[in-house]
Amino acid sequence: MRKQLSLLFFCFAWRPWHLGSLIFCPLVILSSARADDLDELQEKTIKAAVRKIAPCVVQIETQGGTELVATGQRMPFAPAGIRLGTGPTTGLIVHADGYVISSAFNFANKPQSILVAVPGHKERYVAEIIANDQTRMLTLLKLIGVNGKLPLPVAVPKSEMRIGQTALAIGRTLTGPDRPMPSVSVGIISALHRIWGKAIQTDAKVSPTNYGGPLIDLYGRVLGVLVPASPRAEGETAGFEWYDSGIGFAIPLEDINRVLPKMLQGTAKEVVTLKRGLLGVTLQQKQGQDEYSMPAIIATVSPASAAEKRGLKPGDTIKEIDGKSIDSQAQLRQVLGPKYDGETITLKIQRGQKEIQLDVKLEGAVASYPQPFLGILPMRDDPEPGVEVRYVYPNSPADKVGIRAGDRIMKIGREVPPAPLRLQPIAGRDQLMDMLETAVPGLELSFEIKRGENKKTETLKITLAEVPDTVPTKTQLPEKASAKKALTRPKGANPVRPQRDQENAHPPRKQGADDKKAETGFLKRTTAAADHTYWIYVPENYDPNIAHAVLVWLHPPGKNKEKDFDNFWQSWQFPCEDYHIILICPAAESERGGWTQSESEFVQEAVRTVSENYTVDRRRIIAHGMDQGGEMAFALGFRSRGLFRGVATTGAALPSNPRDKVATQPLSFFLIVGDKDPLRDAVKETKAKLLEKKYPVIYREIPNLGRQYIDGRLGIDTLEELARWIDSLDRL
């Protein structure tokens, strides 16, 4: 990648930055200099600008911290987790009392100790992180024992910035404050309002050499603070792969100064975190259209969100924000992207024929609720009305009211006094799952249960709990999981409400799929366009009358050969037979076998094709990956929630912050990591981040295991547990 770019580079090495210098360079220098050489003139101007900013640019050193940092969106060939350098980094003074802003990238490894060297000061200072801006990936440091008198940079007003003007990227990694000149890279402003309206783009070389340093103009004034950034990902390290490529980003200092008063209120104990301002809606998606063409029509409104409080409704079309017209979902992102938690926007929406204008105060988080839990496993593939209880979780709400395996849940209802209780009949498992998804823990529901030999009915009141972080043990889990009548049309009552979308519907099966015996074993497949290869393993005891779970294996980099998949299915052979699981093993196409985001399309196609040819339980399709494949599993889980209900990873951390929970598309996580794995802390943090978003998470740390798969002696119990988790993923 780098080499290709560099080739391009020297072809275009004669960039017209003269243009910038001529227009913008200080007139004084131009007229006073008796230079017979235009370049000399520019050189002098550059050096003068660098000297001017130099006293405000500090060097930051850190101690401790993790070795590997999980990456964000990646380019092909990038390793899973980047190894940060150990060298010094850069910061910019933003307040005379010893406050320094820097790129969050420089602290992504969570150092224990931060030391700052200020130009002209003999002693280094101990510094503490007091604020983070999550929207712009900036960190504010307080230098302990510095009060007043630090020099301050001058910010260039955004209204003055022009594409094409000269921009210099300044860093302190290579040269400490003991040398008068920091490092400099020369370029121009390539674009404004990048990264959803948040950043300036420059072709000066931006890299860990100057992340956190200023991008300045030829007067030595600060345009912005250099950060790695990517329009497609979030997180401290997103965009790192573009270092030195001629694509670099800086956050305008004017914008930073605007929120600085808020950030200055932070302390090391109570770090201020600036969050994105959220509306709390999802938008309607249309097959075959992208965000640049789809209008911003609200699909769902999250409970207790900013949008809900102001009465926005599904079906409303967002037409204008703060007077700017919104024609597409991308424009909505562009306008909302720079907004912070607590900011108020003026919204114009269209509801039917009416246009409504209203002010909405954005919120930092959309309240999400833990997944509700009744405490049972349902019997699958049962066409009879109601849901037979396959297993009752000990101490669960169902257990406490005396529900037992073999009972059948016939009706459900919620009593809202003074109206009398009205119970609705349940057609089957899928319908009951849909109904419970929208409930929250703590809610009291009434269930009509049919039990015993004489089929007596009984109505029980049950208060829902949260999904527990346990998996039934092998002895607990009843072997019988299916009534083995998946191909029989359900006899249940008429659906109470229409299915939400096609993907949630009962598995579509090809006519006559059950007529001939389906192919079983380890099989090679190609996509319809024949451009991708994947392998599937269908257990020999495959029965089309049993809905099978699907485990999609996203291999670690380099393990994309047939023999690798052969090993994989053999590790999974017995669990697949015991728990009726079909494996899909897509192969990443890149030379080194790493995953690229664009390959998610083909993985989804593979899952759909298998679902059409075999009896598949749509509620138990799992993305399972290791290493960078694990990051791919997270990405797939969050992106195609209509398809995946579980994400299981080993030795992989979330590359960026998790997306918000969507109640109607539940997603569960099973995280495995060896305690010798360098990513262990990052995986622990992933668990914390997912729990914060109220996702059900199971976390297993395996003693003495390093960076390897769980099919060996050390991990085999966890592999078995993972299989049981897959079997119990339709828990209610």
Within 201-240, which residues bind another protein (CB under 8 A)?
204-205, 207-209
Residues 530-569: x where in contact with another protein by CB under 8 A, - otherwise, as a string: ----------------------------------------
Nearer to another protein, 88 or 224 (CB): 88
Are the C-beta atoms of residues 294 and 283 closer than 8 Å to each other? yes
Residue 165 Cβ vs another protein, minimum distance, rounded to whole Å: 13
CB nearer to another protein: pick between 20 and 658: 20
10 binds another protein (CB under 8 A): yes
Footprint of another protein on 142-161 (CB under 8 A): 144-145
Decide if 141 contacts 260 (C-beta within 8 A): no
Binding residue (CB under 8 A) for another protein from 76, 192, 231, 244: 244
- Report which residue type is found at 721: E
Please give the structure tokens belonging to residue 271: 């770090």
Best CA proximity match to 506, nearest among 413, 607, 611: 611
Exactly one of 76, 441, 678, 706 binds another protein (CB under 8 A); that residue is 678
Please say which residue, 127 or 376, places its beta carbon nearer to another protein.
127
Q: At 659, give phi and psi (nearest 5°).
A: -75, 160
Task: Pick between residue 223 and residue 301 the one whose CB is nearest to another protein.
Answer: 223
| Nearer to another protein (CB atom), residue 123 or residue 359 | 123
Site for another protein in 683-712 (CB under 8 A): none
Pairing of strands 521-526, 533-538: antiparallel
CB of residue 209 to another protein, shortest distance in Å: 5
List CB contacts of 510: < 8 A, sequence separation 6 or more.
Answer: 612, 613
Q: Which of 150, 155, 186, 253 binds another protein (CB under 8 A)?
A: 186
- Residues 6 or more apart whose CB falls under 8 angstroms from that of 64 comprise 111, 112, 113
Q: Which of residues 92-131 bind another protein (CB under 8 A)?
A: 109, 112-113, 115, 123-126, 128
- Residue 508 found at the interface with another protein (CB under 8 A): no
Minimum CB distance to another protein smaller for 107 or for 535: 107
Tell me which of 53, 58, 66, 634 binds another protein, using CB under 8 A.
66
The contact mask relative to another protein for 68-87 (x = CB under 8 A, - = no) is --------------xxxxxx
Span 611-630, contacts to another protein by CB under 8 A: none
Q: Residue 440: what residue type?
A: V
Q: Is 88 in the site for another protein (CB under 8 A)?
A: yes
**Rounded CA gap, 129 and 268, in Å?**
6
Instruction: Please list every residue from 304 through 343 that binds another protein, using CB under 8 A.
Output: none
Based on CB atoms, which residue is closest to another protein, 9 or 522?
9
Contact 646, 620 (CB under 8 A): yes
Binding residue for another protein, selected from 47, 313, 474, 491, defined by CB under 8 A: 47
Beta strands (DSSP E) in 527-674 are 533-538, 548-554, 581-586, 616-626, 646-650, 668-674
Tell me the closest approach of the beta carbon of residue 561 to another protein, in angstroms. Answer: 22
**Token pair of 100 as six digits:** 């320094």
Location of structure tokens 């299981």: 648
Closer residue to another protein, CB minimum distance, 243 or 699: 243
CB contact set of 289 (below 8 Å; sequence gap of 6+): none
* Distance of closest approach, residue 586 Cβ to another protein, in angstroms: 29
Which part of the chain contacts another protein (CB under 8 A), choosing from 167-175, 307-315, 363-371, 479-487? 167-175
Q: Which stretch binds another protein (CB under 8 A): 37-45, 345-353, 432-440, 481-489?
A: 37-45
DSSP string, 580-603: TEEEEEE---STT----GGGHHHH
CB of 264 to another protein, least distance (A): 18
Rule CB under 8 A: say whether 271 interacts with another protein.
Answer: no
Q: Select 322 or 591, whichever has its Cβ closest to another protein.
A: 591
Cα angle 103, 104, 107; round to 5:
115
Greatest CA separation found in the chain? 108
Q: Which stretch binds another protein (CB under 8 A): 3-11, 592-600, 630-638, 646-654?
A: 3-11
Dist. CA 113–CA 91, nearest whole Å = 16
Contact flag: residue 190 with another protein (CB under 8 A): no
Q: Are 421 and 442 in contact (CB under 8 A)?
A: no
Q: Decide: 478 and 618 in contact? Cβ < 8 Å.
A: no
- Whole-number Å distance between alpha carbons of 517 and 499: 31
Of 72 and 666, nearer to another protein (C-beta) is 72
Secondary structure (3-state) at 433: helix
Residues in contact with another protein, total (CB under 8 A)? Answer: 73
Q: Which of 103, 173, 230, 640 binds another protein (CB under 8 A)?
A: 173
Report the residue from 151, 158, 197, 243 that binds another protein according to the rule CB under 8 A.
243
Task: Say if residues 217 and 167 touch (Cβ distance below 8 Å).
Answer: yes
| Residues 6 or more apart whose Cβ sits within 8 Å of residue 690 | 654, 658, 669, 671, 697
Taking the least distance from each CB to another protein, the nearer of 63 and 541 is 63
Q: Stretches 55-63, 389-397, 406-414, 583-591: which one binds another protein (CB under 8 A)? A: 55-63
Q: Which of residues 427-466 bind another protein (CB under 8 A)?
A: none
Does position 62 bind another protein by CB under 8 A?
Answer: yes
Beta-strand (E) ranges in 289-422?
298-301, 317-321, 324-325, 344-351, 354-361, 372-373, 376-378, 387-392, 408-413
Which of 26-34, 285-293, 527-535, 654-662 is the region at the interface with another protein (rule: CB under 8 A)?
Answer: 26-34
Q: Does 3 bind another protein (CB under 8 A)?
A: yes
Crossing angle (nearest 10°) for helices 716-727 and 562-579: 60
Q: Is 16 in the site for another protein (CB under 8 A)?
A: yes
- Dist. CA 248–CA 230, nearest whole Å: 9
CB atoms within 10 A of CB 45: 22
* Footprint on residues 467-506 left by another protein (CB under 8 A): none
> Phi, psi at residue 663, to the nearest 5°?
-55, -35
- Residues sharing a CB contact under 8 Å with residue 530, sequence separation 6 or more, in sequence order: none
Cβ atoms within 10 A of the Cβ of 601, count? 12
Coil/strand/helix, residue 160 = helix
User: Per rule CB under 8 A, is residue 38 in the interface with another protein?
Assistant: yes
For another protein, the closer of residues 47 and 500 by Cβ is 47
Of these, 64, 394, 478, 495, which contacts another protein (CB under 8 A)? 64
| 13 lies in the site for another protein, by CB under 8 A | yes
